[in-house]
Structure 1
Amino acid sequence: MNKVLSKHALAALCAAPLFLNMGFAQADEMPVPAATEAAAPAEPAPPYTLTYNLGLYSNYMFRGVDYSDGPAVQGGIDWAHSSGFYLGTWFSNLDPYAYGKVDGLSKGNHIETDFYGGYAHSFDNGFGVNFLGNYYKYFEGHNSLDGHKQDSFEVSAALTYKYFTYTYYNLLSNYYGLRKISGPNGGGDTKNTQYHELKVNYKLPLGDINFMAKVGYQKAPDIDKDLYGSHGADQGDFAIGLNRDFSLPSGGKPITGFNAGAYYTDTFSVKNQNFWVSNDLRDINEAKLWFYVKRTW
């Protein structure tokens, strides 16, 4: 979830030296070369990039919540055009009994697959914008406790200035299939759940290490009001940690594109802890130290 974590850690760019081969000779000592055919002009680079990523995570952490209850394999494909438009897909395994204790939000779901697209642009003055639409797909959603489809659609708008990014998220669909009133005959929508996030990314001057810290707050006014009361799913979360790019040696050219990191995550201002309990009675929003290693190519 990004995912952004949501689902959503950021990689630093590694600079490589450029070698120029230069040859010198006296003109009167060199034979005149025979005429040769002009080399064909190089084909221009395509106006888009296509990248892949795959990683192993100790936990699938998203907005302060542990969705996997153990290791998670995550990966995706991203297409980005030079105009700023982009598309992508991403997946992660899930704990099939992640929250909630009554609603069974992901009961029966083992995989989350996201499909997203948007537009991003950076300005010369250090500002940047990013507009995103993300569809959370759960192919096993029919196995939910109440039979409600968990698929959800969220939009977001982000404003970046140098190291800082503020992002506003709004869920246009029901909150992962939940209703105002739980149960098979429950009704009422839970749209308009909001999440506010402030994040800082900074490259430290030592060892090419990247520092990341974030704080966020979810406002969900109508989720199962009969069980949890108004704003029962509201809570804040924060994360802080480090990550670093690296490469692996090989017989020839090093294998590049790796990134590893470690983060500490916790929640605060939890409105109702009962909402954040899994079907196997596990608190899924407690403090967590988690790790990952991934590769992008």
Structure 2
Amino acid sequence: MRNRSPNVLGVFAASLAAVLAMPVWAQSSDSAAPASDFTWSANVSLVSQYRYRGMMQTNNEPAVQGGFDLAHASGFYIGNWNSSISWLDDSDPDVSSTLEMDFYGGYRGTLWQDLTFDVGALHYYYPGSFPAGYTSPDTTELYLGLGYGPITAKYSHSLTNLFGVPDSKNSQYYDVSGKFETGVWGLVLNAHVGYQKVRNLDDGSYTDWSLGVSKDWGQGFSTSLAYIDTNADRDVYTNTKGKYVGRSTALLTLSKSF
């Protein structure tokens, strides 16, 4: 494949090395200075495959993922999240892009008692090589989320074309998710349903849903297993390799947070 983007494992190896160095820095800093209003966090994951809004992003192959967040005590935050991908190559053999980089920032807080909010902007960036006339997959969305107890509802609105779909500006995604303590072996039940409205793409809109469990093992390690499915139109969402990208699947995730 020509003009590949930078080696994904190399990117994450360098990122992980930086993350592992952070606790040492934080410990020495805490002894010399008062506590900061800023909080750093990071995460690294290995997933059996990458699914986003129910859709295949790595053609049923494993993916490496990770990111960083910087939050302020006031509620403002910024962050970056990254993943290996293949969906752009899978949808067009003339495209070369193997990395997704997400950049986001926003503000979160409490409206009343257990009612919380989260508002911000998210930019999806796909470095790589694209043929002339190809609609850029880079996408910018604004989002607004409301949470109450274990339930979260979120609305996302695209300010650009949506992931390379021509003339799809102002597409929307509606998402309702829940996390429920089961009281059994420390397992958490995770449920989700979402609706992707794609502007000006016939039969392009669809619903996705998932149901699964997760467990925190301590020391920042966690695992999750989920069933994911969609009702996306097979004729619209079949890639050039003949795979229906909205098919049902089981997804296993192994994560480490710092």
Please confirm whether the aligned pair reaches a TM-score higher than 0.5, indicating the same fold. yes
CA contact (8 A) 2:145 2:153 kept: yes
Contact 1:171 1:191 in 2 (8 A): yes
Give the CA deviation at 1:80.
0.6
Query: How far did residue 97 of structure 1 move?
Result: 4.5
Q: What's the CA shift for 1:202?
A: 1.2
**Pairwise CA RMSD:** 2.0
The answer (yes or no) to whether the contact 1:190–1:222 under 8 Å persists in 2 is: yes
Aligned partners of 1:52 and 1:106: how far apart in 2?
34
The verdict on how the C-alpha distance between 1:275 and 1:106 changes in structure 2, with shifts beyond 3 A counting, is farther
Identity %: 28
Q: Which runs of 5+ in 2 are unaligned?
A: 1-30
Deviations 1:151-172 (A, max 9, x none): 1101110111111111011111
Task: Give the drift of 1:143.
Answer: 2.1
Q: Which residue of 2 aligns with 1:267?
A: 230
Q: Which has the larger radius of gyration?
A: 1
1:238 aligns with 2:209: yes
Query: What displacement does 1:210 show?
Result: 1.2
Could you list the per-position Cα deviations for residues 214-265 of structure 1 after superposition, in whole angstroms to 9, with x for gaps in the alignment? 0011111313xxxxx3xx2100010010111114xxxxxxxx1011100000
- Counterpart of 1:158 in structure 2 is 145
Q: Distance in 2 between matches of 1:122 and 1:106?
A: 47
Give the corresponding residue for 1:51. Answer: 41
- Structure 1's unaligned 5+ residue stretches are 1-40, 180-188, 224-228, 248-255
Superposed counterparts of 1:182-261, under 5 Å: 189-223=167-201, 229=202, 232-247=203-218, 256-261=219-224
Q: Which residue of 2 aligns with 1:74?
A: 65
Going from structure 1 to structure 2, the CA distance change for 1:207 and 1:124 (only over 3 Å counts) comes to farther
> By percentage of residues, which structure has more strand?
2
Tell me the CA shift for residue 96 of structure 1: 4.7
What residue is the counterpart of 1:9 in the other structure? none
Contact 1:120-1:130 within 8 A present in 2 as well: yes
Which amino acid in structure 2 is aligned with residue 278 of structure 1? N
Say which SS state the counterpart of residue 259 (structure 1) adopts.
strand
Compute the TM-score of the two structures, normalised by the length of structure 1: 0.72
Q: CA deviation at 1:43?
A: 4.3
Distance 1:129 1:98, change over 3 A: farther
Q: Distance in 2 between matches of 1:106 and 1:62?
A: 23
SS in 2 for 1:88: strand
Which one-letter code corresponds to 2:206 in the other structure?
Answer: Q
Q: Which has the higher helix share?
A: 2
Pick from 222, 242, 253 the counterpart of residue 281 of structure 1.
Answer: 242
The aligned runs of 1:112-151 (5 Å cut-off) are 112-123=100-111, 125-140=113-128, 142-144=129-131, 146-151=133-138
